[in-house]
């Protein structure tokens, strides 16, 4: 489905924020674990142009899920290969969840409203952008936790598997993008992830209320 010009006005800045910080977090964490591959490739930057993938960006705009251009890493440079791969893979979606929380907090402090997938009011530009920052970051996080190559979830699983099984799991990497696109186009992945996204947004909202003193047991 395509979106109106006003809707895109909200979605595009939110998309750029989500994808840029996601990939920057990967690059920064890889560097912290001893791998300078991403830094040397110019990917340890908050310049969104360095991170955007044309197909992944289009999929986010059309169906709500997608990906950026993967940050290059070399796990053999990590001080500890499996631990480094785990934390580098977790850094991207983890940063997206943190951004979603920050956006929800700012939204509540400035408007008194909280984001909800099932309730939409005609907001101002800032409120609209903040709402979509929450939505896209949550969707991008849970999408990347899907354990299919080349998403972060597959690398997290691979880092936790014994080496023999990890090699077998990695052999499916070439088929991952095609399977993901098929699941997205058919809407099957969306049906599974929407309830998860709603639950996470509810948890973020609860945390915002607790931290701002508006939730009482």
pLDDT of residue 155: 85
Look up 23 and say whether it is catalytic: yes
pLDDT exceeds 70 at position 180? yes
pLDDT of residue 118: 75
User: How many Å apart are CA 148 and CA 98, to the nearest integer?
Assistant: 23
Question: Are 111 and 173 within 8 A, CB to CB?
Answer: no
User: How many Å apart are CA 171 and CA 155, to the nearest integer?
Assistant: 12
Tens of pLDDT along 91-128? 999 999 999 999 999 999 999 999 988 765 556 888 88
- Point out the least confidently predicted range of 56-60, 149-153, 177-181, 189-193: 56-60
Q: Which among 23, 82, 127, 173 is annotated as catalytic? A: 23
pLDDT exceeds 70 at position 4? no
Q: Which has the higher per-residue pLDDT, 95 or 148?
A: 95
Tens of pLDDT along 5-63? 566 778 888 888 999 999 999 999 999 999 999 999 999 999 988 998 887 777 666 66
CA dihedral 107, 66, 68, 158 (to 10 degrees): 110
Contacts of 187 (CB under 8 A, 6+ apart): 63
pLDDT of residue 122: 56
pTM here is 0.86
Give 71-93 as a 3 state SS string.
CCCCHHHCCCHHHHHHHHHHHHH
């Amino acid at each position: 489905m395509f979106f109106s010009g006003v809707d895109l006005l909200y979605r595009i800045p939110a998309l750029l924020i989500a994808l840029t910080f996601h990939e920057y977090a990967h690059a920064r964490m890889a560097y912290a674990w001893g791998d300078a591959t991403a830094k040397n490739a110019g990917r340890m930057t908050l310049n969104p142009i360095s991170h955007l993938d044309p197909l992944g960006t289009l999929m986010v705009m059309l169906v709500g899920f997608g990906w950026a251009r993967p940050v290059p890493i070399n796990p053999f440079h990590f001080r500890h290969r499996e631990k480094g791969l785990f934390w580098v893979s977790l850094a991207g979606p983890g940063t997206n969840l943190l951004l979603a929380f920050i956006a929800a907090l700012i939204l509540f402090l400035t408007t008194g409203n909280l984001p909800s997938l099932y309730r939409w009011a005609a907001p101002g530009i800032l409120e609209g952008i903040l709402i979509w920052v929450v939505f896209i970051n949550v969707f991008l996080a849970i999408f990347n936790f899907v354990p299919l190559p080349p998403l972060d979830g597959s690398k997290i699983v691979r880092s936790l598997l014994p080496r023999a099984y990890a090699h077998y799991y990695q052999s499916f990497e070439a088929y991952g993008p095609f399977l993901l696109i098929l699941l997205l186009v058919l809407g099957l992945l969306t049906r599974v992830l929407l309830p998860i996204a709603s639950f996470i947004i509810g948890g973020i909202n609860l945390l915002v209320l607790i931290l701002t003193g508006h939730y009482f047991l």
